[in-house]
Each structure stands twice: as C-alpha cells, then as structure tokens.
Amino acid sequence: MPTTTHRGSCHCGAVQFTVELDSSRPTSRCNCSICSKQRFWKAVVPGSAFRLLRGQEALEEYRFGRGIIGHFFCRTCGVKPFGRGEAESMGGVFYGVNITCLDDLSPEELAALPVLYENGREDRWDTIPKTARYL
C-alpha cells in the first residue's frame, strides 16, 4: 500500500503535525506503564516521516525510566500527540505518533488499521502480552 501523508493535532489544535504512514504496516498498542495508562495507540515512523507544523512552544516533555523516549503532550489540553526517540536499532530518530490524533482518518479507516500488541511491561517487545484485550 502506498505511503500517504496525514495531518494530526492535539485536542485544542495548538500542536499540529504531518506524518507519512503506510496503512498496511502494523500499528501497536503496548502494556507498558505509560501506554496502558494513556491507552496510547501508536504508529512508529522514522524521523524523516514526521513534521511538526505548529506548537513547539505548547509542548511539554516527559521522560521516565531509562529516558530513551521523550513523551510530548500539549500543556493546554493535555493530549499526547507523539513521542520521540533515537536508537540505532530503530534507524536513528523515530516518532511514535498517536493514531487517534490523526485528524483525517475516518472511524472505518481507524478500525481497518492492523494492530500488534507489545509486552513493554516485561520489556519483551517481541511477545504478545498474556492479556491484551484491554489495550
């Protein structure tokens, strides 16, 4: 499937971005402490596929654990539109984009996206958690 560019934003619109996605590639839901509490549904893309259009000044960054990922949220509405990391194993800079922040996907398109479940809670990213239904 071809890669398409999508527009996204936080709830109040202060943060706006574009991201290039291949909708045939899996998205993911993770059971790690932050993803499960936020119900973060992400698509991971290389740094070159993400562009912040507006709202750098509206973003706050949160890091925890090993501090590898910067979790960004809007200081006005509190929505987390994306996270940013850098790792050689991921090809350098990458973004985890919150799928539900993409403004131009219909409910039907969202429902059609393939989803993988990740066991981040046990740091076993290549396995599916025993219970994933709540994610």
User: How many structural domains compose the chain?
Assistant: 1
Establish if 128 belongs to a structural domain.
Answer: no
Which residue range(s) make up the domain with 62? 3-118
Establish if 133 belongs to a structural domain.
Answer: no
In one-letter notation, the amino acid at residue 16 is Q
Structure tokens at 7: 């527009």
Structure tokens at 128: 């599916």
Establish if 57 belongs to a structural domain.
Answer: yes
pLDDT for 1 beyond 60: no
Establish if 101 belongs to a structural domain.
Answer: yes
CATH of residue 100:
2.170.150.70
Establish if 95 belongs to a structural domain.
Answer: yes
Establish if 132 belongs to a structural domain.
Answer: no
Position 126 confidence tier, pLDDT thresholds 50, 70, 90: confident
CA pair distance 63, 66, nearest whole angstrom? 8
Q: Residues for the chain: how many in total?
A: 135
Structure tokens at 34: 């932050």
Establish if 124 belongs to a structural domain.
Answer: no
Establish if 23 belongs to a structural domain.
Answer: yes
pLDDT tens digits, 73-110: 999 999 999 999 998 888 899 999 999 999 999 999 99
- Average per-residue pLDDT for the chain: 92
pTM of the model as a whole: 0.89
pLDDT tens digits, 17-57: 999 999 889 999 988 888 888 889 999 999 999 999 999 99
